[in-house]
Structure 1
Amino acid sequence: MNKKLLPLAGLLIGLFVIPSAHAVDRGELLANSCFSCHGYDGRLDNAEIIPLANYPASLIISQMKAYRDGTRQGTIMNRHARGYTDEEIELMANYIGLQGQ
C-alpha cells in the first residue's frame, strides 16, 4: 500500500469500525432522563415516584402519550412528555421495559 494512503485508510477504518464498537442504544439514551427521577434502571425506593422496573412497555407508552396529550394529569410528567415524539416514547419505553426482565 502507498505510504501516503495509510493515514486515509486509518481514518476510514476509524469512521466505520470504532463508532460501532461504542454504539449506544437510542432508547437507552432517552431513558436515562427517566432514571434521574425514577431511579437507575427504573428502580426506586421513593413512595412518591413510581418505579418503572417491571412496567410493561405498552403501559409506559400509553401513559407517556396521555401525559403528553393532556388526557392524564401529573405534577411534572406532562411537561416532560411534551418533548417526545411517538417514536421516542416507544424507544424509551421498550428500553425501560427490558430493564425489568
Structure 2
Amino acid sequence: MRGLFLLLPALGLLMSAAPADAAPPRGAASCSGCHPRTATSGPVPSLNGQPADKIVADMAAFRSGERRSTVMTRIAKGFTDEETRAIADYFANGGNAPAQP
C-alpha cells in the first residue's frame, strides 16, 4: 500500500507530460457550442485550422473591448493568456475537425 502512495506523484508527472492532442485544453470543448467543426457560410466561423496568433489576437480584442460581441467579450475575459494560447494552438492544429479519410 505504501508503494502506491509513492507512485502517485510519479503518475501525476506522467499525466502532465501527455501529448497536447490527447485531450482538448480546458475551455476548448465549449467553443463548439457556437463555432462549427467545418467552414460554413454562417456568421460564426470554424476555428479549426485558423492561425493560432489570429485566435489569440481576436480573443485579446474581445477581452479589451476593442472588438465587440454580446457573447465573446464575456467569454474571452474568462480565460488567462496561457489558456487562450492553449486553445488557439489546439484549433490551429485541427482541433475538433472531423477526421479526414
TM-score computed with the length of structure 2 as normaliser: 0.71
TM-score, normalised to structure 1's length? 0.71
List alignment gaps of at least 5 residues for structure 1.
Answer: 1-6
Report how many aligned residue pairs link the two structures. 93
Structure having the higher helix fraction is: 1
Compare 86-95 and 51-60 and name the one that shifted more.
86-95
Identify unmatched segments of 5+ residues in structure 2: none
1:13 alignment partner AA: L
- Indicate if the aligned counterparts of 1:67 and 1:78 stay in contact, CA closer than 8 A: yes
The reply on whether 1:82 has 2:70 as its aligned counterpart is: no
- The 1:11–1:43 alpha-carbon spacing in structure 2 relative to 1, beyond 3 Å, is farther
Larger radius of gyration: 1
CA distance in 1, matches of 2:55, 2:7: 40
What aligned pairs does 1:16-55 form with structure 2 within 5 A after superposition?
Answer: 16-17=10-11, 20-21=14-15, 25=20, 28-39=25-36, 42-43=37-38, 45=40, 47-55=42-50
Letter in structure 1 aligned against 2:3: A
Cα offsets for 1:13-66 (capped at 9, x unmatched): 244237735858586223112122214xx4365713211111100100000000
Query: CA separation in 2, counterparts of 1:49 and 1:31?
Result: 16
Counterpart Cα distance in 2 of 1:98 and 1:10: 37
Contact 1:38 1:44 (8 Å CA) reproduced: no
Aligned-pair Cα RMSD in Å:
2.9
Distance 1:73 1:97 in 2: 23
Q: Give the C-alpha shift of residue 67 in structure 1.
A: 0.3
